[in-house]
Amino acid sequence: MRSIAAVAAFLLAGTSVPALAQMDHSQMDHGTSSTPEPAPDATAVDAHAGHAMPSADDGVPNGVAPPLPTDHAAEAVYNPAVMARARAAMTQEHGGMILSQWMLDRLEYRAQKGADGYAWEGEGWIGGDINRFAVKTEGEGEVGGPLEKAEVQALYSRAIDPWFNVHAGVRQDFRPDPQRTYAVVGIEGLAPYWFEVDAQAFLSNKGDAHLRVEGSYDQRITQRLILQPAAEVNIAAQDVPELGIGSGLSDIELGLRLRYEIAREFAPYVGVNWERKLGDTARYARMAGDSASATSVVMGIRFWF
């Protein structure tokens, strides 16, 4: 009752705030227990204050992931060896697996003026999403005649982003004679607008340097019928008369192939291919009795597994 009377007196008399502050609160009944509440645990408060990540002062640098757990709850019920195999299988199936592919992009017969020919171009690889071992091969020759060109490359390939790989390795030419061995560096991948590109630089054991640039594009007419234009350009840093190569832009090759994918892994195709030697390379070809250009109607298959 005294507390109610004090409040009423304050309201009626217009008591100021300082006067209210001087009121004797000890005489008021706030309905509290006579037992004092325990003080909060300072350790518990500090442990949750700010929910801060461990700092460098705690011995764990900021931004470093915690170590992998070694106490697996499932091992309390199941055999630890069985669970270890299950975890290894899960890791492999979610990005740690070894994959492989072999694609023979072109295996074709070339009908042309004079002697008909054949050609192939393929690539295989084994590895993961980032690091791979790759093998490339290509070549051509006359039907019933000698093999004119054959090369094999062994490369280490590494992904630098989702679209491009860089690679380095060696290339061995078995034809033409004399044979050459080259160091190779290059980049390949999928350029904007879905152009497949490949650029390689070669340095032979004799010191001659070359550059090769290739590109192609798959234009889908239907889900199974694809028109593929392709181009290849070769550039030499110096004359190599024994191989019939002149310095500068040595040759260019353009092709247009229409394939039908009976299955995604198997597709026959038809098309046309045009080759032209330029500069001193054309002069070397004429001196050897060959034409500087050739146009072929091609028929072949493309398959992979």
Residues 146-202: tens digit of each pLDDT: 899 999 999 999 999 999 999 999 999 999 999 999 999 999 999 999 999 999 999
Domain 99-304: give its CATH superfamily.
Answer: monomeric porin ompg (2.40.160.40)
Q: How many residues does the chain have?
A: 305
Give the span between the Cα atoms of 265 and 100, in whole angstroms: 14
DSSP 3-state of 43: helix
Residues 47-70: tens digit of each pLDDT: 444 444 555 445 555 668 788 778
* pTM score: 0.72
Query: What are the sequence ranges of the domains in the chain?
Result: 99-304
Lowest mean pLDDT among 13-22, 74-83, 223-232, 259-268: 13-22
Residue 90 has pLDDT above 80, yes or no: yes
pLDDT value for 58: 52
Give the span between the Cα atoms of 16 and 8, in whole angstroms: 13
Residue with tokens 């004090």: 6
Residue 31 has pLDDT above 50, yes or no: no
